[in-house]
């Protein structure tokens, strides 16, 4: 009888389990190809870490096999074979929970392995019974109970930031029975989206952007406008019973190394509240403070100046001459909206920018995982997330480059028009396009929803160079060109979120934690050394009890589970020995 792909995978998993049970790190390492990657999300390492090649596998197993006690590895569905690689999904158990993973097996051994901890034994997410039937005196209604919880949550976890990241994490914590409060400076959930310029919308498709537990409905638009997202986040927060405090600003947070807790001082609607959580999470997206450059003459300029994050929308500027400094997503969105109302608008491009059309991104780069056709082919959101997470960052570019080469060919006329207009375009430093640029802290990209055509056609004036001075009525570039201006918009990005954290926990503690975000890829804005994972995101940091969470909607959805499980384990006193805690590197 011929052997099947399932037989091959089952044999490998059995050998893997046997070697782990024997605590034989050398034997486990021998099951991997000479060039190989094992990405573990909490299951073995109580961390998010990727080890490379047989030496890396050997080190991970030697340090974690005894405490993890992994067993019961089982193939979950029929493996797939293509180009000499067999891909298989599997499940397994650990000493404290249940996990799953994805294996890519070649003739040399495992090429990639993903292992994730999905739930904690005895603390599984369960559907609550809700109303208790029967008659009783002094009944507390659901509405009364929720009001009391929100008013006095006695939080084990305080989450600073009530955007999609903080709300998604709050929903996870709620389902795991972890007392929490999410602090947001805005009055209502979603106001962070509502307050931005009116042309803002999601530039990536709906299938990429679901939140935990509650996917967008089938009639939801492919690309959602900002106010619709704001309404969804407000509804989601209520339905998922997230303990949300609006109009609440965390003023300071100090750690007590003896009591092992935080003292968090909160300005809540003008009154001071002090919270004493064990865990503090910064959920501030990807960015920190608005980056407003210091330019000679800013005190001389007679017109209006503001950062893109404070841009109120185009309506008040329809008769104005506006100079937008920058060529990123915000710059294009703002320029396009200003053009629509009739403003005279100029974009200043200071460095090359990667542009990808939104439809092309959806169909070519994301379509196999996050699209209508992917759903029709049986690719659930969880399966798509698993596939995406299983691609180690070290080799992710090898999967991305062909997609962006296909986009370049598909949209070659579009790019030719842009270049003819003088726009400096790039595909990332290694040709891998948008997502790796985003992961590497590169801000020079735009997911095009129409404004690039205005630049290509000359409807939006394009200027090249560095801004060296503002005069009373103009912006002067290093080329000598002067751009008349009534309004200057700084679409100049944001600093690292370390800066916002430092405002609350203090600079010494922020320095102790080190960089947040970036892979250490030795590319522009992402200097080494190589980390192999997003620095300090969704995992333990050098400061006990301090965490960072966020990213786009996809990352907020996926990683919120694993951060919530780490927090729940600590609340329950489950041992969480962390393997390969990130080293500290200076903030840049």
* Mean pLDDT across the chain: 94
Tell me phi and psi for residue 195, to 5 degrees. Answer: -80, -10
* Residue 128, in any domain of the structure: no
pLDDT of residue 287: 66
Q: In this structure, what CATH number is given to the domain that contains residue 88?
A: 3.10.450.50
Calculate the alpha carbon distances from 311 to 306, 318, 487 in Å: 7, 14, 11
Per-residue HEC secondary structure of 443-484 comes to: CCEEEECCHHHHHHCCCCEEEECCEEEECCCEEEECCCCEEE
Helix axes 412-420, 396-410, angle to 10 degrees: 80
User: Which residues on neighbouring strands pair with residue 102, listed in sequence order?
Assistant: 89, 114
Q: Are both 419 and 536 inside the same structural domain?
A: no
Render the burial of 379-405: b for 16+ CB within 10 Å, e for the rest. Answer: bebeebbbbbbbbbbbebbeebbebbe
Q: Which of 494, 520, 542 delimits the end of a domain? A: 494
Out of 136-145, 303-312, 433-442, least confident range: 433-442
Higher local confidence (pLDDT), 567 or 192: 567
* Residue 375, in any domain of the structure: yes
pLDDT of residue 198: 76
Q: Are both 77 and 105 inside the same structural domain?
A: yes
Q: Are both 203 and 332 inside the same structural domain?
A: no
What would the pLDDT profile of 528-544 be if each residue is shown by its tens digit?
A: 899 999 999 999 999 99
- Separation CA 550–CA 476 (nearest Å): 37
pLDDT of residue 442: 59
pLDDT of residue 289: 80
Q: Are both 178 and 275 inside the same structural domain?
A: yes
* Reported confidence tier of residue 436, pLDDT bands at 50, 70, 90: confident
- Separation CA 151–CA 154 (nearest Å): 9
Calculate the alpha carbon distances from 516 to 11, 185, 249, 427, 567 in Å: 40, 22, 21, 24, 19
Residue 247: give the domain boundaries: 144-288+499-571
pLDDT of residue 155: 97
Q: Are both 426 and 331 inside the same structural domain?
A: yes
Q: Is 298 in contact with 323 (CB distance < 8 Å)? A: no
* Residue 422, in any domain of the structure: yes
Give the residue ranges of DSSP H helices in 93-221.
Answer: 142-151, 164-175, 191-194
* Residue 580, in any domain of the structure: no
pLDDT of residue 435: 81
Token pair 């997502």 is found at: 435
Q: Which of 104, 120, 136 delimits the end of a domain? A: 120
What would the pLDDT profile of 158-177 be if each residue is shown by its tens digit?
A: 999 999 999 999 999 999 99
Q: Are both 388 and 472 inside the same structural domain?
A: yes
Residue % of the chain over a pLDDT of 70: 98
Out of 37-41, 258-262, 363-367, least confident range: 363-367
What would the pLDDT profile of 312-342 be if each residue is shown by its tens digit?
A: 989 999 999 999 999 999 999 999 999 999 9
Q: Coil, strand, or helix at residue 137? A: coil
pLDDT of residue 55: 98
How much is the pTM? 0.96
Q: Are both 332 and 264 inside the same structural domain?
A: no
- Separation CA 246–CA 184 (nearest Å): 5
Q: Are both 275 and 375 inside the same structural domain?
A: no
pLDDT of residue 85: 97
Query: Residues near 30 by Cβ (< 8 Å), separated by ≥ 6?
Result: 54, 109
For residues 430-453, average pLDDT? 85
Judging by DSSP bridges, how do beta strands 271-275 and 85-93 pair with one another?
unpaired
Query: Residues near 235 by Cβ (< 8 Å), separated by ≥ 6?
Result: none
* Residue 338, in any domain of the structure: yes
DSSP 8-class letter at 69 = -
Rg of the chain, C-alpha, whole Å: 25
For residues 11-34, average pLDDT? 98
pLDDT of residue 443: 61
- Separation CA 560–CA 538 (nearest Å): 7
The answer on pLDDT for 586 being more than 90 is no
- Separation CA 201–CA 211 (nearest Å): 17
Q: How many domains does the chain have?
A: 3
Out of 84-88, 118-122, 223-227, 303-307, least confident range: 223-227
- Separation CA 14–CA 5 (nearest Å): 14
What would the pLDDT profile of 495-527 be if each residue is shown by its tens digit?
A: 777 888 999 999 999 999 998 999 998 887 888
- Separation CA 540–CA 562 (nearest Å): 11
What would the pLDDT profile of 540-578 be if each residue is shown by its tens digit?
A: 999 999 999 999 999 999 999 999 999 999 999 999 999
Q: Are both 96 and 39 inside the same structural domain?
A: yes
- Separation CA 17–CA 28 (nearest Å): 9
pLDDT of residue 91: 98
pLDDT of residue 499: 83
pLDDT of residue 588: 44
Higher local confidence (pLDDT), 225 or 198: 225
The answer on pLDDT for 345 being more than 60 is yes
Nearest residue to 240 (alpha-carbon basis) of 303, 304, 285, 173: 173
Report DSSP letters for 93-104, one per residue: E-SSEEEEEEEE
Rounded-to-10 torsion of CA 282, 284, 289, 290: 180
Nearest residue to 253 (alpha-carbon basis) of 539, 498, 506, 496: 506
Residue % of the chain over a pLDDT of 90: 83
Q: Are both 322 and 307 inside the same structural domain?
A: yes
* Residue 310, in any domain of the structure: yes
Q: Are both 330 and 472 inside the same structural domain?
A: yes
Cis-peptide, bond into residue 529, ω within 30° of zero: yes
Q: Are both 452 and 524 inside the same structural domain?
A: no
Handedness of CA 426, 430, 431, 437 (dihedral sign): negative
* Residue 36, in any domain of the structure: yes
- Separation CA 241–CA 153 (nearest Å): 12
For residues 260-283, average pLDDT? 96
Q: In this structure, what CATH number is given to the domain that contains residue 562?
A: 3.50.50.60
For residues 127-133, average pLDDT? 83
Q: Which of 453, 473, 494 delimits the end of a domain? A: 494
Q: Coil, strand, or helix at residue 58? A: helix
Q: Is 571 in contact with 261 (CB distance < 8 Å)? A: no
* Residue 474, in any domain of the structure: yes
């Amino acid at each position: 009888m011929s052997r099947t792909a399932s037989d091959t995978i089952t044999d490998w998993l059995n050998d893997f389990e046997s070697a782990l049970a024997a605590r034989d790190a050398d034997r486990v390492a021998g099951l991997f190809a000479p060039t190989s990657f094992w990405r573990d999300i909490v299951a073995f390492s109580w961390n998010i870490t990727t080890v490379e090649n047989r030496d890396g596998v050997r080190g991970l197993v030697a340090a974690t096999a005894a405490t993890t006690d992994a067993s019961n590895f089982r193939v979950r569905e029929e493996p797939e074979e293509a180009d000499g690689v067999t891909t298989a999904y599997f499940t397994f158990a650990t000493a404290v929970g249940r996990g799953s993973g994805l294996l890519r097996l070649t003739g040399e051994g495992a090429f990639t392995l993903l292992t994730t901890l999905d739930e904690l034994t005895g603390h599984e997410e369960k559907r609550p019974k809700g109303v208790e039937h029967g008659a009783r005196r002094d009944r507390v209604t659901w509405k009364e109970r929720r009001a009391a919880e929100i008013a006095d949550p006695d939080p084990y976890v305080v989450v600073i930031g009530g955007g999609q990241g903080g709300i998604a994490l709050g929903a996870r914590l709620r389902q795991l029975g972890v007392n929490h409060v999410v602090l947001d400076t805005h009055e209502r959930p979603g106001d962070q989206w509502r307050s931005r310029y009116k042309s803002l919308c999601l530039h990536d498709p709906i299938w990429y952007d679901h939140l935990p537990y509650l996917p967008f409905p089938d009639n939801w638009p492919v690309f959602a406008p900002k106010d619709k997202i704001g309404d969804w986040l407000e509804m989601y927060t209520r339905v998922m019973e997230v303990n949300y405090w609006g109009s609440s600003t965390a003023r300071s947070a100090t750690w007590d190394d003896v009591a092992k807790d935080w003292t968090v001082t909160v300005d809540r609607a003008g009154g001071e509240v002090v919270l004493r959580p064990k865990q503090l999470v910064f959920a501030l997206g990807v960015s920190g403070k608005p980056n407003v450059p210091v330019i000679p003459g800013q005190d001389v300029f007679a017109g209006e100046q503001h950062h893109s994050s404070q841009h109120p929308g185009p309506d008040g500027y329809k008769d104005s001459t506006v100079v937008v400094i920058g060529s990123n997503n915000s710059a294009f969105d703002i320029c396009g909206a200003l053009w629509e109302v009739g403003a005279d608008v100029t974009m200043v491009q200071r460095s090359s920018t990667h542009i990808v059309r939104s439809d092309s991104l959806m169909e070519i780069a994301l379509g196999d995982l996050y699209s209508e056709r992917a759903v029709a082919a049986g690719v659930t959101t969880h399966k798509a997330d698993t596939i995406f997470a299983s691609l180690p960052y070290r080799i992710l570019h090898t999967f991305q480059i062909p997609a962006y080469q296909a986009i370049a060919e598909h949209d070659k006329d579009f790019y030719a028009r842009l270049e003819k207009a003088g726009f400096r375009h790039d595909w990332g430093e290694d040709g891998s396009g948008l997502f790796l640029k985003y992961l590497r802290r590169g801000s020079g990209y735009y997911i095009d929803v129409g404004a690039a055509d205005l630049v290509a056609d000359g409807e939006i004036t394009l200027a090249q160079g560095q801004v060296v001075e503002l005069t009373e009525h103009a912006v002067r570039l290093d080329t000598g060109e002067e751009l008349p201006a009534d309004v200057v918009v700084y679409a100049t990005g944001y600093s690292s979120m370390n800066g916002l954290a430092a405002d609350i926990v203090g600079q010494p503690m922020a320095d102790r934690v080190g960089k947040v975000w970036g892979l250490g890829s030795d590319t522009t804005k992402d200097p080494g050394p190589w980390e192999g994972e997003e620095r300090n995101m969704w995992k333990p940091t050098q400061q006990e009890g301090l965490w960072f969470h966020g990213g786009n909607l996809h990352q907020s959805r996926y990683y919120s589970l694993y951060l919530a499980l780490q927090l729940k384990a600590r609340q329950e006193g489950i041992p969480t020995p962390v393997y390969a805690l990130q080293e500290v590197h200076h903030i840049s």
